Amino acid sequence: MRSIGNLPGEIQARLFGDYLLAQGIRNEVEVESDGTCVIWVLDDEQIEQGRSLLERFRQNPDAPEFARKAADAERVRTEEEKAQTEWRRRVHNRKRVFPGMIKYGAGPLTFALVVMSVVIAVYSNVGRDREFLRPFFISFPVNGEAGFLPEVMRGEWWRLLTPMLIHFGIGHIIFNMMWLFQLGSMIESAQGSGRFALLVVVFALASNLAEYALSHPHHYKFGGMSGVNYGLIGYVWIRGRCDRGSGLHLDKESVVMAIAWFFLCFTGWVGPIANYAHAAGLLAGMAWGWVSAKIALRNP
């Protein structure tokens, strides 16, 4: 969001703001202490267009075209209000089903992923029982079996996703479930379970395949929700920064902590970590967040 200039009075500024909104340019009007009004445009790619229109407006603010177009802004606001009402209804319904858990209202998929992770942790003795975990690893070659993901190639496709449900140690699962619960609840409340499911699948695939393919030799006894979590962190962080109306936000302290932990893991000081999974998840999440924000801002 950037300023494109100012106008001398609030009446003119509100009229011009409505004109911009009718043109598909989302904006905010800020009244200064001296009575002048600063015009802010939310999408950086529309800055130059906004400045050009502001210059035209300054030359003749009473031109009929501005008042005529500005009248369409009410229709745009009505449509946005309908969308917000639907979003609030979805959040209310989730809070009614899962009351008092978190300010966003946790969704069913978030709970399902937490429950599945905890169940597998219990039955695997928090990752110590490798035989129990054999069907959940991305691969577990036996009898000299070689090749790239031999079990997946035979049709055991679930192995591409299930490593995210494996955890090694109490601290590992607690830390991951805290991040998953916070981020999953936020995304499900704001964008629905379908979008959250798609995000989880894509980030799981990206992180698990990256860890397996880039480690030498192929590292297959890895697990954890952290690759998916880093994808969700990247998505919420960038989408929230680029599209403030998305309902997604990650505070600065959380971002700093997540990035600091990301680089600390690469040092090797905290033990063996699936660093390629973290990196792939984070990059995939940031890319998705940026692209989805641009699409949303172009289609308000």
- Cβ(113)–Cβ(211) below 8 Å: no
CATH number of domain containing 179: 1.20.1540.10
Q: Is residue 99 part of a domain?
A: no
Whether 32 and 163 map to the same domain: the answer is no
Question: In angstroms, rounded to a whole number, what is the distance separating the alpha carbons of residues 116 and 121?
Answer: 8
User: Final residue of a domain: which of 19, 45, 71?
Assistant: 71
Q: Is residue 8 part of a domain?
A: yes
Whether 153 and 266 map to the same domain: the answer is yes
Count of the separate structural domains present in the chain? 2
CATH number of domain containing 18: 3.30.70.2350
Q: Is residue 31 part of a domain?
A: yes
User: Final residue of a domain: which of 71, 96, 123?
Assistant: 71
For tokens 């001398």, what's the residue? Answer: 8
Report the interhelical angle of 108-123 vs 193-214 (nearest 10°). Answer: 40
Whether 201 and 284 map to the same domain: the answer is yes
User: Final residue of a domain: which of 49, 71, 93?
Assistant: 71
pLDDT tens, N- to C-terminus, the chain (300 residues): 788 999 988 888 988 988 998 888 888 998 888 888 999 998 888 889 999 999 999 999 888 888 888 778 878 878 777 777 666 665 544 444 444 444 555 689 999 999 999 999 999 999 999 899 999 999 988 776 778 888 999 999 999 999 999 999 999 999 999 999 999 999 998 899 999 999 999 999 999 999 999 986 667 889 999 999 999 999 999 999 998 888 898 888 999 999 999 999 888 887 788 899 999 999 999 999 999 999 988 875
Whether 18 and 137 map to the same domain: the answer is no
Whether 6 and 148 map to the same domain: the answer is no
Q: Is residue 90 part of a domain?
A: no
| Containing structural domain, residue 47 | 2-71
Q: Considering only CA atoms, give the Rg of the chain.
A: 24
Whether 37 and 176 map to the same domain: the answer is no
Residue type at position 277: A
Q: Is residue 77 part of a domain?
A: no
Whether 116 and 48 map to the same domain: the answer is no
Whether 121 and 66 map to the same domain: the answer is no
Q: Which of 116, 238, 213, 101 is nearest to 167 (CA)?
A: 116
Q: Is residue 95 part of a domain?
A: no
What does each C-alpha distance from 173 to 77, 99, 121, 157, 169 come to in angstroms?
A: 44, 24, 8, 24, 7
